[in-house]
A = this chain, B = another copy of it.
Amino acid sequence: MVRKTKEEAQLTRQQIIDAAREVFLTRGVNRTTMQDIARQAGVTRGAVYWHFSNKSELFHAMREQVFLPLIDRMDDTLLVAQMENPLASIEQFLCGTIQTLEESAPIREMYEIMMIKCEYVDEFSDVLQQILSNCSGIIDNIELAYRRAKEQGQLHAGQDPALLAIDTHLFFVGLLNMWVKDTQGSQLRPRAMQLIASHMALRRA
């Protein structure tokens, strides 16, 4: 029984991607073999090599599948309704990201893989550049929001929107990092929302 339907083939492809994510998480990207992935997906290496020419391609496919929609959502949150209440939109952006991590296991796993289960060398080094350019976009959007907030007198006087934006972004990066590393969920995860509120409260006039 070989030669599945096109739809069945797409299903296998998806199963392979899911399997890769699961194995990457436990074994790390580098130590994960095509055999590992195939076993986890319930297929042979033949199937994996049919859909992806190598591990790097599979990695990128897995990453883009969860990351691209996520980035879209981020952009939406930060740009939409930024006019009315800019500080609230920043806060909602931060909270929304954490909430997404809490709700979606695949996204949570992706973050963990990207942060502590992947070495950014050779074929993977360009991913870092993508991440950096994505960060630049986020900073720009946050800065825009702070600028609007300042115009509306919602900030303390003498605060530079550009510096505030980077400060918030660094807070964000640190939060994501520690949130992911706090696998036990005992230290930081329960306090994430409170920390975001506190961070934003510091800025409000």
Contact = CB atoms under 8 A, between A and B. Distances in A.
Interface of A: 26-31, 116-122, 128, 131-132, 135-136, 159-160, 163-164, 166-167, 169-175, 177-178, 181-182, 187-188, 191, 194-195, 198-199, 202-203
A202 B119 contact: no
A119 B181 CA distance: 13
Contacts of A198: 160, 163-164, 167
Nearest to A188: B166
A170 B31 CA distance: 30
The main secondary structure of chain A at its interface with chain B is helix
A181 B117 contact: no
Contact of A132 (B117, B181, B191): B181
